[in-house]
Amino acid sequence: MSEFWLDMLVVVLRCVFSVAFVMNIVPLMIWGERKGAAYIQDRPGPNRAPIDLPNPADLPRLLSAALRGEPLDYKPVVSLRAAGLIHTLTDVVKLAFKEDITPDHVEKFYWFIAPVIAMSIALCTFAVVPFGDSFLGYNLQVSSLDGGLLFVLAMTSLGVYGIMLAGWASNNKFSLLGGLRASAQMVSYELAMGLSAVVVFLSAGSVSLAEITRQQGEALSIFGLVEIPALNWNVFSPFGLLAFILFWVAVFAETNRTPFDLPEGEAELVGGYHTEYSSFRFALFFMAEYANMIVAAAVTATMFFGGYNVPLFSGAFLRENADMVLAVLGLGAIPAFLGLAVVAWKRRGRPFYAAIPSDDPRRNEPAFFTAVWLGAAAAHGGLGVAGLMGGLTGLSALVGVEGLGADLLVFVLHVSSLGVKVLIGGWIFIWVRWTLPRMRYDQLMNLGWRYMLPIALVNVFCAAGWIILRHELFA
Amino acid sequence: MIESVLFYLFSLVAIVAGVSVITQRSPIASALSLVVCFFALAADYVMLDAHFVAVVQVLVYAGAIMVLFIFVIMLLNIRETEPAAMGQLTARSGGALLISGLLGVALIAVLDSVVHQTPAELPAEYGTIKAIGEALFNGTYLLPFEAVSLLLTVGMIGAVVLAKREL
């Protein structure tokens, strides 16, 4: 394979990975939103929709029936409900197969492209977020654009078109008001968002997200006394902390989340800009909101919380000690998975299981999950033992942890680190939504223009002054 | 090779969108065509290695100024403009032809002075934020740059003074 095609393949793989990263967290966030809302409101939340698994012995018969196009009838052995995770799947099926209604009074062309714009802009923004340091010498970032963070700001400012067009093309006053609210609010908060990002540019001396992340992987020195490896996060400086708070508030306004979700204020605007949408067009708006949240959390994590960096362990350290890292992680995961297995097994004692008939397939769910967690414990134990053997004997080429293996391990760790940070950010979105009431429109504008913008400006000047002062004093 | 193909593709998009700006009846369609035109121009800037200009083009024109334009059009809720009377139309197209003819001559003159030169090798730093920042704040363009920012501030204050009766 020639160099050119290999490069093309890498480009395609990077694009596929970053889209998959965002789109796979979307259902998880929707599930978290429902469960989180339920627990905050003291109710159990979604827990009914099942997937009925057939007996493995029936599989050949079912497969041939499916190929012949006959109905599949089988007696399920396990009815898997997975704490409500299946609800997201059923939602997708429902939205995909619902009738797609196009009202007569809409401006067809703009009405059709609005959800497409909303979704594609949300996914494009992730292109400049690095999700690992390098893999066999390739950058782990779709585009290593020089103006990385500016690209994020440019894309968020384009994101407003989807909502605006949806509101206008729907051709009714409630949707139009929703679209107008969204555009006014997003334009207002972009300023505070951009200015708080300037603090990060100043301290990093670069606008490239890859460079900003790399610098945050260096050691954090506290007055030159203590050095903490791989924890030089921007949030650990006074200006960075203030910038993070401003940025995070602005992100809530940009993603139209509570307390700033006036564009879809259901009490006064029916459903806001997406009132006229049904079926999968509505689903696109719905997914775009979650994709925007995930991308915003990823950008925030990259700017202020070290991005893909694992706290306390630099990429170089992890690569050098790949065998021992694998051993510690693999063996350390065994007790965690065993604990999960015990928890799953103990669920059999719940009153629910006494109340259903003894041949109900839902009875077998705890046993199924116990088996899953035991299997995971065994798999991680195997990896851990392999790492330990490699580390102790120095024959790590035998277990594949060198070069490719080490890069693969570091890649998994970096992606997981970014993923965990994104999930924490996503949880804060959910937490705030079910805790705070919606703001009034004048309060929203006051907060943006009279408080956040001046504070962000002062913060930029103070940070710039401090950087010059530090340069004069210490260098 | 791919870059020049993409360059001409985006140039074509920009021209089509530009024509569509003046031929569309509905103001929203015109404004959106202008957004597409700006976006295609930004893509052309990327093909010319001017990444910063491209991003700023999208950020400022497509993302801020056009959003305000569309905001105003939506707020006034203008659906379609009435076609102008014939007499007005001839006067307008005469003026437009005159101005675009003059601009075209100027453009050809500029292109003529450039097109015969062999393109120089781009320096590695070309088009980066650092290079532009050096030119604007450390180099020959400091005075014009500051003058422009002063002009913008004056314009903004003027708009506030004109729009607000009581300060």
Establish how many alpha carbons lie within 13 A of residue B15's alpha carbon, considering only the half-sphere containing its beta carbon. Answer: 5
Instruction: Report yes or no on B6 lying in a domain.
Output: yes
The pairing of strands A138-140 and A220-222 is: unpaired
Instruction: Report yes or no on A38 lying in a domain.
Output: yes
The pairing of strands A51-53 and A78-80 is: antiparallel
Q: What is the mean pLDDT of residues A457-463?
A: 91
Beta carbon pairs, A and B, within 8 Å: 71
Domain match, A129 and A211 both: yes
Q: What is the mean pLDDT of residues A196-200?
A: 89
Instruction: Report yes or no on A351 lying in a domain.
Output: no
Q: What is the mean pLDDT of residues B8-16?
A: 93
Given an 8 Å threshold on Cβ–Cβ distance, is B63 in contact with A150? no
Instruction: Report yes or no on A118 lying in a domain.
Output: yes
Domain match, A89 and A107 both: no
Domain match, B78 and B2 both: yes
Average pLDDT, chain B: 84
Alpha-carbon span A449 to A188, nearest angstrom: 7
Q: What is the mean pLDDT of residues A280-307?
A: 89
Alpha-carbon span A142 to B29, nearest angstrom: 32
Is the CB of residue A178 less than 8 Å from the CB of residue A269?
yes
Mutate to test the interface with B, among A117, A158, A170, A185 (most CBs of B within 10 A): A158
Domain match, A240 and A272 both: yes
Instruction: Report yes or no on A322 lying in a domain.
Output: no
End-of-domain residue from the set A257, A292, A307? A307
Q: What is the mean pLDDT of residues A161-187?
A: 85
Establish how many alpha carbons lie within 13 A of residue A254's alpha carbon, considering only the half-sphere containing its beta carbon. Answer: 31
Given an 8 Å threshold on Cβ–Cβ distance, is A164 in contact with B74? yes
Domain match, A77 and A110 both: no
Domain match, A48 and A118 both: no
Q: Which residue has the higher pLDDT, A335 or B82?
A: A335
- Count the neighbouring beta carbons within 10 Å of the beta carbon of residue A391: 20
Alpha-carbon span B10 to A388, nearest angstrom: 55
Instruction: Report yes or no on B115 lying in a domain.
Output: no
Exposure class string for A220-245: b at 16+ Cβ within 10 A, else e? beeeeeeeeebbbbbbbbebbebbbb
Is the CB of residue A18 less than 8 Å from the CB of residue A415?
no
A116 touches chain B (CB under 8 A): no
Band (A422; pLDDT cuts 50, 70, 90) = very high
Is the CB of residue B37 less than 8 Å from the CB of residue A142?
no
Ranges A124-128, A273-277, A453-457, B151-155: which has the least confidence: A273-277
Nearest to B63 among A158, A168, A207 (CB): A158
Alpha-carbon span A175 to A273, nearest angstrom: 4
Is the CB of residue A464 less than 8 Å from the CB of residue A204?
no
Domain match, A130 and A226 both: yes
Residue of chain A with shortest Cα separation from B39: A158
CATH assignment of the domain containing B28:
1.20.120.1200
Instruction: Report yes or no on A145 lying in a domain.
Output: yes
Domain match, A116 and A185 both: yes
Instruction: Report yes or no on A389 lying in a domain.
Output: no
Q: What is the mean pLDDT of residues A283-299?
A: 90
Q: What is the mean pLDDT of residues A219-225?
A: 73
Alpha-carbon span A250 to A193, nearest angstrom: 6
Q: Quick check: A395 pLDDT over 70?
A: no
Total domains in the fold of chain A: 2
Domain match, A221 and A110 both: yes
Give how far Cα A373 sits from Cα of A35, A327, A365, Å.
Answer: 22, 19, 12
Is the CB of residue A433 less than 8 Å from the CB of residue A258?
yes
Band (A475; pLDDT cuts 50, 70, 90) = low
Alpha-carbon span B49 to B11, nearest angstrom: 15
* 3-state secondary structure at position A469: helix
Give how far Cα A407 sits from Cα of A136, A316, A355, B15, Å.
Answer: 7, 10, 51, 47
Domain match, A106 and A160 both: yes
Domain match, B78 and B12 both: yes
Establish how many alpha carbons lie within 13 A of residue A464's alpha carbon, considering only the half-sphere containing its beta carbon. Answer: 11
The pairing of strands A226-228 and A132-135 is: unpaired
Band (A443; pLDDT cuts 50, 70, 90) = confident
Nearest to B129 among A146, A160, A187 (CB): A146
Instruction: Report yes or no on B95 lying in a domain.
Output: no
Domain match, A54 and A151 both: no
Express each pLDDT in B113-134 by its tens digit.
Answer: 877 777 777 777 777 788 888 8
Q: What is the mean pLDDT of residues B147-151?
A: 93
End-of-domain residue from the set A82, A97, A112? A97
Which positions in chain B touch A190 (Cβ < 8 Å)? 63-64
Q: Which residue has the higher pLDDT, A440 or A423?
A: A423
Q: Which residue has the tokens 């139209």?
A: A256
First-to-final CA distance of chain B: 58
Minimal Cα–Cα distance from A377 to chain B, Å? 48
Total domains in the fold of chain B: 2
Domain match, B141 and B65 both: no
Alpha-carbon span A261 to A286, nearest angstrom: 13
Single-letter code of the amino acid located at A266: E
The whole-angstrom distance between residue B156's C-alpha and the CA centroid of its chain comes to 20
For A169-187, the DSSP string reads HTTSHHHHHHHHHHHHHHH
Instruction: Report yes or no on B98 lying in a domain.
Output: no
End-of-domain residue from the set A72, A97, A122? A97
Instruction: Report yes or no on A79 lying in a domain.
Output: yes
Single-letter code of the amino acid located at A250: A
Domain match, A79 and A117 both: no
Alpha-carbon span A468 to A475, nearest angstrom: 10
State the residue range of the domain holding B137: 128-167
Cα-only R_g, chain B: 20
Single out the residue of A229, A232, A106 nearest to residue A179, CA to CA.
Answer: A106
Nearest to B129 among A153, A184, A207 (CB): A207
- What are B's interface residues with A at a Cβ cutoff of 8 A? 28, 32, 35, 51-52, 55-56, 58-59, 62-64, 67-68, 70-71, 74-75, 77, 127-129
Q: What is the mean pLDDT of residues B152-167?
A: 86
Band (A92; pLDDT cuts 50, 70, 90) = confident
Average pLDDT, chain A: 84
State the residue range of the domain holding A242: 101-307
Q: Quick check: A430 pLDDT over 60?
A: yes
Band (B147; pLDDT cuts 50, 70, 90) = very high
Q: Quick check: A397 pLDDT over 70?
A: no
Instruction: Report yes or no on A419 lying in a domain.
Output: no
Is the CB of residue B32 less than 8 Å from the CB of residue A111?
no
First-to-final CA distance of chain A: 50
Express each pLDDT in A346-371 by its tens digit.
Answer: 888 888 888 888 888 888 888 888 89
End-of-domain residue from the set B63, B82, B101? B82
For CA atoms A205, A210, A216, A217, the dihedral sign is negative
Given an 8 Å threshold on Cβ–Cβ distance, is B67 in contact with A161? yes
Exposure class string for A155-180: b at 16+ Cβ within 10 A, else e? bbbbbbbbbbbbbbbbbeebbbbbbb
Alpha-carbon span B79 to B64, nearest angstrom: 22
Domain match, A146 and A227 both: yes
Instruction: Report yes or no on B19 lying in a domain.
Output: yes
Q: Which residue has the tokens 């089988």?
A: A74
Which positions in chain B touch A186 (Cβ < 8 Å)? 67
ipTM, two decimals: 0.80
